[in-house]
Amino acid sequence: MSNAKENETLRLETFSDGVFAIATTLLAFQLEAPKHPEGEFRSGLLLHALAKQWPAYIAFFLSFATLYILWVNHHRLYNVIHRSDARFMFYNGLHLLLISMIPFTTSLLSNFINTDAMALAALVYMFLFACICGTLLLMWIHASTDFYLLKRPAADVKVKTVRLGLIISASAYGVAALLALLVPYVSLVIGLAIVIYLARLKYHRERVV
């Protein structure tokens, strides 16, 4: 029985990994190569055309880093649980729904960086990340309450640290979303800082990753 349940979590991970990997790769697929126009068009002009796309590179880089770190955290979470239940699968579905929307908000940000509507684009962008951290928090609270879905022995799982870490991340993204209305570039820098913070979140006392 316990063997069957292990296997169940495995397939949930495979499916989730698929969604993460595709969302990640689609980010770069939104980078569009300039077309060769009519008439003379030397390397200098191409360099200029490529440089003009800097908003797309920034949005791509920030989204890629965030998605990768969110995957790492999703992966760490599954590393310390050993089974799933209906509600956990529901939260996981909600999490993936939001994850799959990242290419959309990335494209939005990329289209409006440095325009008069950047404030709203950055707000939507950061708000999605806040919701994603929120669903990760829901998964964690459900899994760790009374060590409900955790692997045994669970004594080394840092239940409170992770809970606090996810609350901080979700709140920080929320603050970044609001700040986007005033100082959108600062909001992006906060986004990068949260990535570094989330990268260092430890789910287990002994495991290095």
- Which 10-29 positions form the footprint of its own copies (CB under 8 A)? 11-15, 17-29
Direct distance between the N- and C-terminal alpha carbons of the chain, in angstroms, rounded to an integer = 28
C-beta of 84 vs 169, nearer to its own copies: 84
Which of residues 104 and 171 has its CB atom nearest to its own copies in the complex?
A: 104
* 164 to 183: interface string for its own copies, x by CB under 8 A: -----------------x--
* Among the listed residues 2, 38, 86, 146, the single contact to its own copies using CB under 8 A: 86
Which residues are CB-contacts of 10 (< 8 A; sequence separation ≥ 6)? none
Pick the closest to residue 169 from 129, 109, 124, 205 (CA basis).
129
| Least distance to its own copies, CB of residue 35, Å | 6
For residue 140, the tally of other CB atoms under 10 A from its CB is 23
Which of residues 108 and 172 has its CB atom nearest to its own copies in the complex? 108
CA distance to 44, 59, 65, 132, per residue, from 181 (Å) = 37, 17, 23, 20
- Least distance to its own copies from the beta carbon of 36, Å? 5
Q: Provide the minimum distance between the beta carbon of 62 and its own copies in the complex, in angstroms, as a whole number.
A: 11
| 58/49 Cα distance (integer angstroms) | 16
To its own copies, the closest distance from the beta carbon of 90 in angstroms equals 7
Q: What would you report as the CA-atom Rg of the chain, rounded to the nearest whole angstrom? A: 20
- Choice between 40 and 146, CB closer to its own copies: 40
If one asks whether residue 65 binds its own copies (CB under 8 A), the answer comes out as yes
> For residue 206, what is the DSSP state?
S
Residue 119 CB contacts under 8 Å (≥ 6 apart), including other chains: 180, 181, 182, 184
Interface with its own copies in residues 126-165 (CB under 8 A): none
Judged by CB under 8 A, which of 58, 111, 171, 185 binds its own copies?
111
CB of 17 to its own copies, least distance (A): 5
Question: Would you state the torsion angle of the CA atoms of residues 195, 197, 198, 200, taken in this order, to the nearest 10 degrees?
Answer: 130
Kindly state the DSSP code that residue 204 receives in the 8-state scheme: B
Q: Does 91 bind its own copies (CB under 8 A)?
A: no
Q: How many CB atoms lie within 10 A of CB 110?
A: 23
Query: Interacting stretch for its own copies, rule CB under 8 A, among 68-76, 128-136, 159-167, 170-178?
Result: 68-76
Number of residues near its own copies (by CB under 8 A): 79
